[in-house]
Structure 1
Amino acid sequence: MKRFRQFAATVVSSLVLTATLTTTPALAIQGGEIATSNGIVVALSHGINSNRAFCSGSLLEPRIVVTAGHCVVENGAATFFPNGIYIPTPGADLNKDVKSTRARVIQRFWVNGFTNSSDSVEANDFAVLVLDKDLAKPLLTRLATQTEISSLQSSRALITHLGYGKLGLNTDNDGVPRQLTLNMQPRSIFSGFPTNSSFQTRGSSTKSICPGDSGGPVVTKIGNDWVLLGAQAGGDMSCARPYLGSDTTTIFSATYFNTIIEEAKAFALASTTPSEPQNFTAKATMDQVTLSWTTPAAEATTITSYQVEEVLETKRAYLGVYVDDAPTGGVLITNTILETPAELAGIEANDIILEVGGVPVKVVADLLAEMKKYRAGTKLVFKIKKWSGETKDLTIKVSEIGDPIGYQTKCTPNKDQLTCTFTGKPGTTKYRVFAKSSKGDGTPAELNVVVGAGSAPTRADATPEGTSLVVTWQDPEILGSVPRANINVSVIDLNTQVTLCTAALTAYSCKIDKGVGSYNLGIRTETSLGNSLTEEIGEVEVLAAAPGQVTQFRAVKTSTGWKLVWQKPANDGGSTITGYQVKTLSGKSLCRVTAKTNTCIVKNTAVSKGTKIRVFAVNSVGTSKPATVTLS
């Protein structure tokens, strides 16, 4: 893995400009100015969603980007990027740009023989990238000629550097481009490099090019033209470690490598990758998911197959590494990103993370849980089992580098098979499908699929009804993959997590008989494939009320009058019944008895046949509605 690059065969030191990135904001490149309005510089982003650059580049044509070879080549081969290389629009603030506008790199061109296999600046460190779509109209109009470069060298002219690199020794890039003007040097310091292939500029200990600026444009204005002189490749050691006296930046001439640029242009003209598949839909029944689509609108005849992938948040590139569960326990490093905190600390592919800050991590989920406890920039001790078997502790600065998304292939149907069926996992999962062709992978279409319970019921409400609560609801916004007839709804007391009532989804109500009290209610759907998230209904208070009517009220004829008999109410209103009152319809009191008594003797001297008699239950809140009987 590469370290900060130094000049070979010279007393001057410099570095590879690939960034060690965290999210710490800062004010300058190292002595530079913000350049978000610039239409020349672009970021090389590891995945479509990343908000940091690992290198910089210049947009030469709508689908052509010039950069440094060491940004995309390692040991003579194209560097592996699990989520691809994406290019935002020129001058973009990576924290604010619209991610869907980013273009994907579909091909890389570099000089035959360039290897990027040492820590020194190597000859021919120059590359050209071809994008899958037009990114923007370039501000650059042409390449500087060798004559113009020689003239600028002779006059030690000021020229402009642009990049998304580190902002100083202890200050990482914040996703915003910067620019800096430095003086050209009269001659190249590399006698062993091809003549006219490189040149240098000179800064100072406070104004210099830094890691992450690699590949960035070096430009000047000649007449009305913004012209590209070359791509930055090596810079000042003061950005990465104590200042060593070097303030020289090496640039590789774009006009010298025009053959590579023309080769990339020819490929771009001949290669149009497929657009995204159309009509991407999903059908989920229980745990079975079937995805289907139709052919892309563009370049359908070049398609050789399709690839369907699950989008995995758990593949997040924390520390600049990609991870998976290790078969033997721990978190397996599947890939590293160059010049990131983990790679610089010595982590390599096939190493296994055993502990984070002294806490064991057995699976990726454990790692994610621990990492989320710390802010970017925090230094943590990681216990690592090296691929060689050695176990060691490494101190690494926490950062989130690269695209926060990973992918797992679900199926690779042929060009005529426009469907894919598999067993899904409960919850909401994002899937994507893209066409593969002889000209490269196409643009993916994405879709969220719900397997299981779906979401919680909507419009849930709770209404007191006496000492009971009646909870009502409507269908969930997302029904999920389970048939409606197999979905239940449960109402939960959020304070105790006790289920208060359960009913079928299609009942749309359930009754809670818990008596007087205060209840903090939540509601969720429940299925054999799991439950939805619980949505809060709110706090509902059931207050004591007057009791219900007495029951079984009747009058029994005696020789001297009538015996009135009743049973206590089914509902005491949440307050103990204290007694009963017996009255005529006109309000004449006949009896007042305690709660233990359920009879009243009425003589025929007090009332007569046909009189309507009413009885009331009484508690501390009030009097019940009357039960009525007619004497006969």
Structure 2
Amino acid sequence: MKMRMSRLQHLTVFSVAAIHLLLFSICPVSSRIYRTNDAVVIEVDGVGPSNFASRNFGNLAPVPMTYAVNPYIGLSSQPYPNFPLWPYPLYKPASSFSDVENVTATSSDSKQQKIACGVGPASPPQRSFPDVRIVGGSEATPNSWPFVVGLRKAGSTGVFCGGSIISPTRILTAAHCVNELSAFDISTMTVSLGMHVQGILPDTYADAQMTRRVSRVVYHNAFNTNTMVNNIAVLTVTPDLIYSAAISPVCLPPFNNAANQFVGKDAAIMGWGTLASGGEASNTLQQATVKVISNAACNIPYENNLSPQHFCAAADGKDACKNDGGGPAVVRNPNGSWKQAGIVSFGFGCADPKYPGVYASVAFFRNWINTYMKN
């Protein structure tokens, strides 16, 4: 396979685990790492944001293939919301919430009150020009996608990956967003929810309605940074989320390991990533509509490296891009709710007409997701 993640070392799971253990031994946080039969689990206790989290670290030069590579360098200083005193925003409980351990639009089981999953716009984003966003999309209406979240590391005002809300304590994202984070990274990692402006431009600030820290990272233990198989992760956030009109879960499809289950459907993608390959990130949430194509057609440019756990989607001039990785690709249910078909995974360039975007199939991994939503 010609594609490579040049900034990600191709380590075995055992060596990744060894590196995590070494980092945990030198970082001043209480942490554990262990393996299950299908996951690497990293837990961090008693941690909060860094006291020097006001640094705004810029991004390294883009890598053509991957949509999300961890940003580490830069020195321009800018205030970072909710740091360093870590005052979690206080909100009155919304009138209705739903427990979404088994997410459907009509879940009757509720530990909280009932907010339906999959709230979103009445139709997919229009394929319009000349707006050039996410790549080739448009600015979303603020809080119109209440399940999309931005992942941040202390020291950076910008989002380095996306994700989606799947329960009051769980965020779904891509393994490549978290598999090489250190104990310190995890201990200071936060999730911005109900956000439209990420606050990377001068005199702008993140408008997230809620911020939560990450206490647990679980990613598939067979994730491969070369082939991008098993590119899935579940994060645990603390304290529990409080659902509202701006913060609510996405619906999840039932388990289905067949390929091509969404072929021909329009999928909405959204994120705060770069607006073009090698371009600047967007300060506001962007959205676009792409169409799911068959794996057979997509396997031609990707040299037969795709499997039923992947699907591809494309549209002229439209794609996810760097820092959109881990974000959702959603399709509409007949009742109008939105379910998450895919997780932004990889591609060659951004909106390159020869290379559709590739997504991890949520339906394929539904049983894996269920396990780490409940445990």
TM-score calculated relative to the size of structure 2: 0.57
2:327 counterpart letter in structure 1: G
Residue matched to 2:68? 18
Residue matched to 1:228? 340
* TM superposition shift of 1:50: 3.9
Alpha-carbon contact 2:257-2:363 (below 8 Å) kept = no
2:269 maps to 1:161: yes
Change (3 A) 1:187 1:257: same
* TM superposition shift of 1:196: 2.4
Q: Distance between the aligned counterparts of 1:187 and 1:151, measured in 2?
A: 10
CA deviation digits over 1:494-531, x for unaligned, max 9? xxxxxxxxxxxxxxxxxxxxxxxxxxxxxxxxxxxxxx
Change (3 A) 1:230 1:238: closer
Q: Distance between the aligned counterparts of 2:369 and 2:176, measured in 1?
A: 16
Alpha-carbon contact 1:73-1:115 (below 8 Å) kept = no
2:122 maps to 1:122: no
Alpha-carbon contact 1:53-1:175 (below 8 Å) kept = no
Mapping for residues 530-569 of structure 1, pairs under 5 Å? none
Residue matched to 2:138? 33
Mapping for residues 125-524 of structure 1, pairs under 5 Å? 125-137=231-243, 138-143=248-253, 146=256, 150-153=260-263, 156-187=264-295, 189=299, 191=304, 195-204=307-316, 206-224=317-335, 225-238=337-350, 245-267=353-375
Alpha-carbon contact 2:194-2:209 (below 8 Å) kept = no
Q: Distance between the aligned counterparts of 2:183 and 2:323, measured in 1?
A: 16
Alpha-carbon contact 1:73-1:79 (below 8 Å) kept = no
Change (3 A) 1:182 1:42: same
CA deviation digits over 1:467-489, x for unaligned, max 9? xxxxxxxxxxxxxxxxxxxxxxx
Change (3 A) 1:187 1:175: same
In structure 1, the residue corresponding to 2:65 is in which secondary structure?
Answer: strand
Unaligned runs of at least 5 residues, structure 1:
6-12, 268-632
* TM superposition shift of 1:79: 7.1
Unaligned runs of at least 5 residues, structure 2:
9-62, 77-130, 200-204
* 1:3 aligned residue (2, 6, 26): 6
TM-score calculated relative to the size of structure 1: 0.35
Higher RCO structure, 1 or 2 (CA under 8 Å, sep 6+): 2
Residue matched to 2:169? 63
Change (3 A) 1:124 1:148: closer
In structure 1, the residue corresponding to 2:197 is in which secondary structure?
Answer: coil
Q: Distance between the aligned counterparts of 1:99 and 1:184, measured in 2?
A: 31
Change (3 A) 1:28 1:144: farther
Q: Distance between the aligned counterparts of 1:115 and 1:101, measured in 2?
A: 33
CA deviation digits over 1:62-108, x for unaligned, max 9? 2211111111003xx86751752210114432224457831111111
Change (3 A) 1:236 1:19: same
In structure 1, the residue corresponding to 2:262 is in which secondary structure?
Answer: helix
1:15 counterpart letter in structure 2: M
Residue matched to 1:43? 150
* TM superposition shift of 1:129: 0.8
* TM superposition shift of 1:257: 1.5
Alpha-carbon contact 1:43-1:87 (below 8 Å) kept = yes
* TM superposition shift of 1:20: 7.9
CA deviation digits over 1:176-207, x for unaligned, max 9? 221111111122627555x5211111233x32
Larger CA deviation: 134-143 vs 218-227:
134-143
What percentage of residue pairs aligned between the two structures are identical?
20
Change (3 A) 1:56 1:134: same
Q: Distance between the aligned counterparts of 2:267 and 2:206, measured in 1?
A: 28
Residue matched to 1:315? none
Change (3 A) 1:100 1:218: closer
Change (3 A) 1:145 1:261: closer
Change (3 A) 1:3 1:80: farther
Change (3 A) 1:235 1:163: farther
Residue matched to 2:32? none
Q: Distance between the aligned counterparts of 1:99 and 1:192, measured in 2?
A: 38
In structure 2, the residue corresponding to 1:263 is in which secondary structure?
Answer: helix
Change (3 A) 1:151 1:230: closer
Residue matched to 1:529? none
* TM superposition shift of 1:122: 1.9
Change (3 A) 1:121 1:85: farther
Alpha-carbon contact 1:54-1:212 (below 8 Å) kept = yes
Q: Distance between the aligned counterparts of 1:68 and 1:202, measured in 2?
A: 19
Alpha-carbon contact 1:89-1:136 (below 8 Å) kept = no
1:132 counterpart letter in structure 2: T
Alpha-carbon contact 1:41-1:56 (below 8 Å) kept = yes
In structure 2, the residue corresponding to 1:70 is in which secondary structure?
Answer: helix
2:159 counterpart letter in structure 1: A
Q: Distance between the aligned counterparts of 2:237 and 2:277, measured in 1?
A: 33
Change (3 A) 1:211 1:61: same
Root mean square deviation, CA, Å: 3.3
1:247 counterpart letter in structure 2: Y
Structure with a larger share of its residues in strand: 1
1:46 counterpart letter in structure 2: K
In structure 2, the residue corresponding to 1:16 is in which secondary structure?
Answer: coil
Residue matched to 2:191? 87
Alpha-carbon contact 2:7-2:69 (below 8 Å) kept = no
Change (3 A) 1:221 1:237: same
